[in-house]
Amino acid sequence: MDFEDVPIKGMVTMIDLGAKKCIPCKMMAPILERLEKAYSGKAAIIFIDVWKNGSQAKRFAVQAIPTQIFFEKDGKEVYRHVGFLKEEAIVEQLKKMGVTLSEDASGG
């Protein structure tokens, strides 16, 4: 993926800036994988390893990892969180931004 295309134009986007070896980042990995599948076609859920892609840490002004940033469809940042973020909190934020799952999709 070309990170210059992030946030995805025309789609609500959540990026998680972290590292594969950071403990809270590792705890978030299965959550992000689930949400990426669940929101496929509705919202972009993207993980960026800032230890491998340092320029992205600068670009998004990351102070600590993990950092989650939520963008509206027009690319405007609307919410930022630093640290581990529970799945429920991510779903809630996406809901506030108008992205909902059909009931059957959230069951797994």
Catalytic residues: 22, 25
Could you give the strand order of the β-sheet that contains 77-82, starting from the edge strand earlier in sequence? 43-49, 12-18, 67-71, 77-82
**For residue 85, how many other CB atoms are within 10 A of its CB?**
20
